Structure 1
Amino acid sequence: MKKLVLTAAAATLGLGIAFTPTPVLADHHEAGEMEKLDQTWYRVNLVKFEAGNRKRIGEIIDMYEAANKASGVDSPVVIHMNTGPWDMMVFFRMKHGIESMGWKTNPEGEKWWAAFKEIAGGEEEANKIEAEWDSYVLREESHIAHRHPVEDE
């Protein structure tokens, strides 16, 4: 029995080397330069707020929007939910694609934070507003998603 197992192992070692596909071919790609898909990437935040703070939440969102405009950063798409467990979905376009996930700092984020600090009246006040916002959030989930271009566009 031992001889049979060893013989089978030796045979498969020889075959394994001859038939091992290269990583490029294993992914059904031809050898050569890889081509990226045309996709737009988003960070999607799902937010559930504590009850009773709608007016102040709206005021903070207005400040965030002012910081978007002042910094030149794209405003997110905000969807207010009428059903389900979430109050809001916010789609932040990842300007630099999925590669943005690997950055320690983000140039757009830095520009936005500088504008927000100015609107808030300084870094200390901006941090207080961020903490206030966080106090209104009951729970939040963040996801990564992408969109394929529409051919008619």
Structure 2
Amino acid sequence: MRKTLMIAAAFAMPLTAAPALADNHMEAEAPKQANLDWYEINYTRYHAGKVGEARQMQEVFKEISVKVGLELPMIFHMNSGEWHTMLARKMPGGIAQMGWESNPNGRKWWAGLVEHTGSEEAANEYWQKYQSLIADQKEEVGHIDR
């Protein structure tokens, strides 16, 4: 029995270092980020007859983005399928941005909406109006290789 345990221990000892060796733990160079651009992709379907009003509001949203110095998202007006709009917004913080408690660009944009509408209350009303036009939404995250 004792001999069996000693043999098992002799085989198991090298395995304890396997995880460190598997990820090149011994290399001196720091890990490298992949050369990717990450995007939030939003799909939106509006209530019947509300697409035109929603697109007018999107124009205001674009003006605000430009005014506060944000990169404009790519906005696709869909001609087929179940969605009316597909919006691709670059994630400047990369995939790590998903862990942010609050997005600094979102705060910057909201401040622009408050300025545009004249008050926090008016901005909330404007945003709720836009939200009332939406029948369904979904969001995905993807990347492109640079």
Residue aligning to 2:65:
68
Whichever residue aligns with residue 139 of structure 1, its letter is D
Whichever residue aligns with residue 83 of structure 2, its letter is W
Q: How many residues align?
A: 141
State which drifts further: 62-71 or 98-107.
98-107
Q: CA RMSD of the aligned region, Å?
A: 2.2
Residue aligning to 2:86:
89
Residue 41 of structure 1: CA displacement?
0.7
Residue 42 of structure 1: CA displacement?
0.6
CA distance in 2, matches of 1:17, 1:47: 56
TM-score normalised by length of structure 2: 0.84
Structure 1 runs of 4+ with >4 Å offset: 27-30
CA change 1:137–1:14 in 2 (3 A) is farther
Q: Is the 8 A contact 2:51 2:84 kept in 1?
A: no
Residue aligning to 1:19:
15
Structure 1 unaligned spans of 5+? none
What pairs up with 1:9-48 in 2 under 5 angstroms?
A: 11=8, 14-20=10-16, 21-23=18-20, 25-27=21-23, 31-32=27-28, 33-48=30-45
Structure 2 unaligned spans of 5+? none
CA distance in 2, matches of 1:38, 1:83: 32
Residue 143 of structure 1: CA displacement?
0.9
CA distance in 2, matches of 1:115, 1:22: 49
Residue aligning to 1:144:
141
CA change 1:40–1:14 in 2 (3 A) is same
CA change 1:87–1:17 in 2 (3 A) is farther
SS of residue matched to 2:72: coil
CA distance in 2, matches of 1:15, 1:86: 58
User: Percent of aligned positions with the same letter in both sequences?
Assistant: 29
CA distance in 2, matches of 1:82, 1:63: 22
Residue 142 of structure 1: CA displacement?
0.8
CA distance in 1, matches of 2:44, 2:66: 23
